[in-house]
Amino acid sequence: MGKTTKVIALEGRLRDCRNVITLGVRPNFSDYDAGKVALIRNADKIYYPSPFYAELFDTMGKPTFPSYHCYKFVQDKIKQTALFQLLDIPHPRTRVFYGKRQKKTIGDHFAFPFIGKVARGSAMGRGVFLIRNPAELEAYLQSVDIAYIQEYLPVDRDIRIVIIGQRIVHSYWRLAPANEFRTNVAVGGQISLGPVPGGALDLALHIGHTCRWDDVGIDICRHNGNYYVLEANMKYGKEGFRQAGINYTQLMEEMIANEEI
């Protein structure tokens, strides 16, 4: 039997869902009134608790959606790469360089062109650079404290696969615009709803289950016949849902009611 009572959320992601009460995120827990404190304490699960409260709820043993594991890796490419390497998940060759001495050795590990990224906090294609020569490398190094360097795979498209709960709810291609190596919709990438290969879907499910991520957009590309995960996005956009005619709010209402999340 599905849920018939309303669930509790803190962040506003589910504010339009009829079966969700959104309380907001208060940095001082004492700012919640007695009624909201009771709702939080008595809830079987808290939805979208925020990075701050996800850690606290995990410590006290209260389940959340998304899982605490999602919040631990949100917008942190360094941690994601380390996890992919640890779990032997196919990922473009990547190294992180700290300090001036390490950064001077980048050329020992990578030949131009290669990718440089802002390691933490960037999204929607921002903070991603195609580095083709020493001058571009120097400009990149001047803009970051930690150099996150990745091999360049010359592809003109990748695949976004969205996992919610334990299943794939949507997948689509993202096509790079002319004269652009990034496929992000925010930088002009186009969404294509053509069939997504089963190998990519299988890899995404493996990543979601192995990494214990239950609300994530996983970006995968195919290069020389092999699939590679580029990164995981816990703050994925909804444009792909809109273009496919999927009502995201209704989807989430139904998954909550069916106790899938």
Domains located in the chain, CATH noted: 7-65 (no CATH), 93-151 (3.30.1490.20), 155-257 (3.30.470.20)
pTM above threshold 0.85: yes
Q: What is the pLDDT of residue 22?
A: 98
pLDDT tens column, 198-228: 999 999 999 999 999 999 999 999 999 999 9
Strand, helix or coil at 222?
A: strand
Long-range pairs for 189-196: beta carbons < 8 A, 24 or more residues apart: 189/125, 191/239, 191/240, 191/243, 192/157, 193/243, 193/244, 196/159, 196/161, 196/171, 196/172
Which tokens is 97 given? 């360089």
pLDDT, position 5:
87
Between 187 and 143, name the one with better pLDDT. 143
Q: What is the mean pLDDT of residues 237-252?
A: 97
Beta bridge partners, 9, equal 22, 47
Q: How does residue 180 score in pLDDT terms, banded at 50, 70 and 90?
A: confident
Q: What is the rounded CA–CA span in Å between residue 50 and residue 74?
A: 11
Residue 249: helix, strand or coil by DSSP? helix
Confidence (pLDDT) at 2:
67
Distance CA(26)–CA(122), nearest Å, equals 24
Residue 38's pLDDT band, with cuts at 50, 70 and 90, is: very high
Residues of the chain with pLDDT > 90: what percent? 91
Q: How confident is the model at residue 6 (pLDDT cuts 50, 70, 90)?
A: very high
Q: What is the pLDDT of residues 46-95, one digit of tens each?
A: 999 999 999 999 999 999 999 999 999 999 999 999 999 999 999 999 99
Per-residue confidence at 184, pLDDT binned at 50, 70, 90? confident
Which pLDDT value is given to residue 126?
74
- Average pLDDT across the chain, whole number: 95
Phi, psi of 161 (to 5 degrees): -120, 120
Residue 221 to residues 82, 85, 201, Cα–Cα distance (Å): 19, 17, 11
Long-range contacts, 23-30 (Cβ 8 Å, 24+): 25/50, 25/52, 25/53, 27/52
Band (4; pLDDT cuts 50, 70, 90): confident
User: pLDDT at position 135, please?
Assistant: 98
